[in-house]
Chains A and B, each alone.
Chain A
Amino acid sequence: MIGIESLTKEYGGKAVVKDVSMRIETGTITVIVGTSGSGKSTFLRMINRLVEPTAGSVEIDGTDTRRMKAYELRRRIGYVIQDHGLFPHWTVARNVATVPRLLGWGREEIEARVHELLALLQLDPDEIAPRYPHQLSGGQAQRVGVARALAARPDMLLMDEPFGALDPVIRAKAQQDLKEIQERLGSTILLVTHDMSEAIKLGERIAVMSEGRVEQLAPPGEILTRPASAIVESLVGEEDRPFRYLSLLPIAPLVEPGSAEGPAIGAERSLRDALAEMIWSGREALPVVDASGRERGRVTRAALIAAGRPPR
Chain B
Amino acid sequence: MRRLAGLFLRLGLLALVLAFLLAPSAFRPLLEPFAPEGAPAIYDRASLLSLTVSHLLIVIAAIVPAILISLGLAILVSRPVGAEFLPLSRAIVNIGQTFPPVAVLALAVPVVGFGTWPTLIALFLYGLLPIFENALAGLTGLRPSVAEAARGSGMTGTQRLVQVELPLALPVMIEGVRISLVIALSTATIGSTVAAKGLGEVIIAGLNSSNLAFVLQGGLLTGALAVILYDGLGQVARLADRRG
A interface with B by C-beta (< 8 Å): 48, 50, 71-76, 79, 81-90, 98-99, 102, 132, 148
Contact = CB atoms under 8 A, between A and B. Distances in A.
A71 B156 contact: yes
Interface stretch (B39-47, B59-67, B144-152): B144-152
B145 A81 contact: yes
B243 A74 contact: no
A-B residue pairs, 7 tightest by C-beta: A85-B149, A75-B154, A74-B154, A79-B152, A85-B145, A83-B145, A71-B154
A71 B155 contact: yes
Given A89-B168, A89-B244, A102 B154 contact: yes
Interface in B103-161: 143, 145-146, 148-156, 159
B191 to A, nearest CB: 39
Nearest to B167: A89
B148 A87 contact: no
A79 B149 contact: yes
B188 to A, nearest CB: 35
A87 B151 contact: no
B152 A48 contact: yes
A71, A85, A90: most-surrounded residue (chain B CB, <10 A): A85
A81 B148 contact: yes
A155 to B, nearest CB: 13
Contacts of B151: 50, 74
B49 interface: no
B130 to A, nearest CB: 23
A87 B164 CA distance: 7
Interface string B61-100: 0000000000000000000000000000000000000000
Contact of A84 (B145, B155, B156, B164): B145
14 contacts: A50-B148, A50-B151, A50-B152, A74-B152, A74-B153, A79-B149, A82-B145, A88-B143, A88-B168, A89-B164, A98-B153, A98-B155, A102-B153, A132-B243
A120 B43 CA distance: 72
A72 B154 contact: yes
A148 B151 CA distance: 14
A199 B143 CA distance: 28
B148 A89 contact: no
B165 to A, nearest CB: 11
A73 B152 CA distance: 10
Contacts of B159: 102
Contacts of A148: 153
A81 B151 CA distance: 12
Given A88-B146, A89-B167, A89-B168, A81 B244 contact: no
Contact of B153 (A75, A84, A88, A89): A75
A79 B150 CA distance: 10
A28 to B, nearest CB: 22
A83 B143 CA distance: 10
A97 B198 CA distance: 52
Contacts of A79: 149, 152-153
A132 B164 CA distance: 15
B143, B149, B152: most-surrounded residue (chain A CB, <10 A): B152
Contacts of B167: 89
A88 B244 contact: yes
A201 B49 CA distance: 76
A133 to B, nearest CB: 9
Contacts of A85: 143, 145-146, 148-150, 152
Nearest to A75: B154
A82 B155 CA distance: 20
Interface in B175-194: none
A158 B72 CA distance: 35
A71 B243 CA distance: 27
A89 B145 contact: no
B146, B154, B156: most-surrounded residue (chain A CB, <10 A): B154
B148, B153, B155: most-surrounded residue (chain A CB, <10 A): B153
Contacts of B145: 81-85
B101 to A, nearest CB: 37
A121 B190 CA distance: 63
A139 to B, nearest CB: 17
Given A102-B159, A132-B243, A87 B146 contact: yes
A21 to B, nearest CB: 24
A287 B211 CA distance: 103
A82, A83, A87, A102: most-surrounded residue (chain B CB, <10 A): A87
Contacts of A50: 148, 151-152
A73, A76, A98, A132: most-surrounded residue (chain B CB, <10 A): A98
B152 A89 contact: no
B166 to A, nearest CB: 10
